[in-house]
Amino acid sequence: MFKLLKYLKDYKLQLTIGPACKLLEAIFELIVPLVMADIIDIGVSSGDAGYVLRQGGVMILLGAVGLCSALVCQKSASIASQGSGTKLRNELFHHINTLSFTEIDRIGTPSLITRMTNDINQLQYAVAMLIRLVIRAPFLVVGAMIMATTINLKLSLIFLVASPLIALVLYFIMSKSVPLFKLIQKRLDRLSLISREGLSGARVIRAFHKEDKEQQRFNDANEELAKTAQNVGVLSALLSPLTYAITNLAIVAIVWFGGGLVDTGQLQTGDIIALVSYMTQILLAMVVVANLVVVFTKASASAARVNEVFELEPSIKSGSESELTLDSDKDFIRFDNVSFGYGGGDVLKNISFAVQKGETVGVIGTTGSGKSSLVNLIPRYYDTTSGSVSIGGNNVKNYPLLQLRKLCSVVMQKAVLFSGTIESNLKWGKQDATDEQMNRALEIAQAKEFVDKLPNKIETQVAQGGKNFSGGQKQRLTIARAIIAGAPILILDDSASALDFATDYALRSAIKKNTEGTTVFIVSQRVATVKDADRILVLDDGELVGYGVHKELFERCSEYREICLSQLSAEEVQA
């Protein structure tokens, strides 16, 4: 938790003024019982209405000044907590964006979202409580006990007995409930994961009629969270009865023994009222201290989860600080004995091939053969386990990441659009793209026809995740976004799977015609999509079993021949 204190360095003024004002309020609160005692012992007992009114005015003044102090403290706490939380959330989001796919896969998107929202909110609340109550509550406990001793030393012994008993009860309840608060955070992560899966996969769930199963899965996770919270609630419910029982017994003892002292003239009636007020202040302050323990325990758990993300170092770091020059005399893209795995066994094994600038390379293979993993190594979304990948004669690990990513335009398997307009989505590829460039990209991607039919054309709003477009439309828009970037390498990772054969053919023809000099990788399950490529990579169980043109591979690569005959007739294969 101390690692995150640096986010408070810009709020030293609030961290000073806030507690100071709260301390001032506590001092006035300790003075009020003494003023009340004087009103009873002097004003009420002698019937001096003027004295009562004057002292009443003093009480009102103390209350007004205390209120102003509390408001200043509250304002300071709000500025410091919200400001530091905003900075922390911004930096956490920035750090997450520096992580590679490997680190993000390790923690998981739902957990990252929970850490950015719920955990940082918990830390913000802890900062507010730090300013408002950390000094005030202990000061009230100690101050009330000292004030009690100044009134009557013998009766103050009741405070010395009652206070440790209250503290013991608080310790018992907190020691049992604090572990449960940590468990609640884990249960919340689980519920967040199920919620995200259920909402993002709603169409799939309905397609397979799994609404009841998913509802039950959500209910089970929600029930686990509720039971844990209920257990904490049961323990917390014991807090008030036990502490108030001890306090009320202490008050009875004060009144009982104090009454005897009043009868003997050793104590005045107002003093008893003041002692009762101090005992009540001690109780309330200790309950606040107990709640602070809970708040800071939860904040500590949240801080650990946030620090866990900050401590993750991106496994993929930028190479040279200055841009590298591409060597035109060497193979444009080259894989040398490349192996790669996600932490288990190798997904790719000893892959070697070379691609020349401007070639179109088809990548085909059975499901799980490593096609997407292979093309993800080119823009360095993942690093090779062994071997090397080079572009323009330079190892991709030596490139500045910004330069490397500018060399590659990638269309992922899952078409992702962002809320906004079609135009704003296209400009992800090139921020200063002109209308002419956007229209050209839409034409190449075979999206111009359906975009022009929309009421607002390119200004049409895109719903979250592009839910207001079909799968094929989303794929074509993401392809247009990649084309508009004009990168020398275009990677289409099974990005035309939702297109019909005619549109797929028109798309490939348009790309070949309009992207001269661009090296294109087309990953697909369809033979028809890759058969006309300049080179075809055939993968099987992570191994490169064939590399060449369609006719050669059909004759000498059994795996490729099997794929071809499973999709095409003999005449179509030879066409």
pLDDT tens digit string along 5-62? Answer: 788 888 888 888 988 998 888 888 888 888 888 888 787 777 778 888 888 898 899 8
Is 70 exceeded by the pLDDT of residue 575? no
Question: In the prediction, which pLDDT does 71 show?
Answer: 92
| Cβ partners under 8 Å of residue 531, min gap 6 | 362, 550, 564
Mean per-residue pLDDT, 129-142: 86
| Cβ partners under 8 Å of residue 568, min gap 6 | 527, 528
Is 90 exceeded by the pLDDT of residue 537? yes
Look up tokens 């009562």; give the residue: 52
Which domains are seen in the chain, by residue range? 2-310 (1.20.1560.10), 333-574 (3.40.50.300)
Distance CA 160, CA 165 (A): 9
Mean per-residue pLDDT, 528-553: 90
> 506 is written with which tokens?
């028109």
To the nearest 10°, the Cα dihedral for 177, 182, 188, 193? -150
Element (H, E) at 110: helix 109-114
Question: In the prediction, which pLDDT does 301 show?
Answer: 79
Question: In the prediction, which pLDDT does 1 show?
Answer: 62
Is 90 exceeded by the pLDDT of residue 163? no
Is 80 exceeded by the pLDDT of residue 96? yes
| Cβ partners under 8 Å of residue 243, min gap 6 | 166, 169, 170, 283, 286, 287
Is 90 exceeded by the pLDDT of residue 505? no
Average pLDDT value over all residues in the chain: 85
Question: In the prediction, which pLDDT does 82 show?
Answer: 92
pLDDT (tens digit, 9 = 90+) per residue, 409-446?
A: 988 888 888 888 988 988 888 888 888 888 899 999 89
